[in-house]
Structure 1
């Protein structure tokens, strides 16, 4: 079976409400560092800052022109970037997470010459842990703030 094709595009300010709805989804919040509900005005300020920051990259990943997830990368220095991935609630359970992650990694390597990607995973989030491990991430640093730290070398 051929995996579903996806494409990534840069997020824009017009994506604010869509991204906020995914971020405020209860399952997304459970796995996040910040678990509270975010207000639209706060999210818009955050999004504006992310889009203006050269050390961050926020992509919306689409399948058949419909948004299915988002991948954000934050530069950590020395060619390393931390990844954050969110699937649209309606996209869960369809085998898309690994494809969405791989597309984000491809764009990151192409545009920014990234050497490695780091992932912070809540220990109770078995699905995310399995996603990153299946995608080639390995324990790379001591856990921090209650999160596992996984690392993948690109290339």
Structure 2
């Protein structure tokens, strides 16, 4: 696959993260399925980045952002850019996340079978959320 790296998210990633968050299939697999307003998103990002350990990351492949993940305690949340899905990026990213951060927990909706499989394969504890 190419060269990858994980970097901390910055304020400059606001537009990118906003687009990924509001994409329809991403919203349908999120706990909050509503479209997020730009101002609310920027406020959330500002608060997140102000934390001592924001634990919000961008996953890049060949210097191009292709996915994101965040860690909240023992939980990991992640999404792959819509145009990058079904290319093995989630598997690559989650294996690296496990390597760097240890075994985390992923809460996944029961009908999101691809995400369940990739999280299990990477060695995460998967908690199934009923739709």
Q: State the TM-score, normalized to the length of structure 2.
A: 0.90
Hey, what's the Cα distance between the residues in 1 that align with 2:124 and 2:104? Answer: 8
Cα RMSD between the aligned structures? 1.9
Contact 2:105/2:125, CA 8 A, preserved across alignment: no
Moved beyond 2 Å, runs of 4+:
102-107
CA deviations on 1:23-76 (whole Å, 9 max, x unpaired) are: 10111011100001001110011111111223540000101110000010011x
Match status 1:126 vs 2:119: no
Q: Relative to 1, partners in 2 of residues 1:90 and 1:65: Cα closer, same or farther, differing over 3 Å? A: same
SS of alignment partner, residue 29 of structure 1? helix
1:124 positional shift: 1.0
Contact 1:57/1:73, CA 8 A, preserved across alignment: yes
Hey, what's the Cα distance between the residues in 2 that align with 1:55 and 1:121? Answer: 24
Contact 2:57/2:69, CA 8 A, preserved across alignment: yes
Hey, what's the Cα distance between the residues in 2 that align with 1:101 and 1:137? Answer: 9
Q: Whose radius of gyration is greater, 1 or 2? A: 1
Hey, what's the Cα distance between the residues in 2 that align with 1:73 and 1:138? Answer: 14
Unaligned runs of 5+ in 2: none
Unaligned runs of 5+ in 1: 76-80, 148-155
CA deviations on 1:64-90 (whole Å, 9 max, x unpaired) are: 110000010011xxxxx2000110111
Higher helix share: 2
Task: Work out the number of aligned pairs and report it.
Answer: 131
Corresponding residue to 2:87 among 94, 100, 109: 94
Deviates more, 1:118-127 or 1:3-12: 3-12
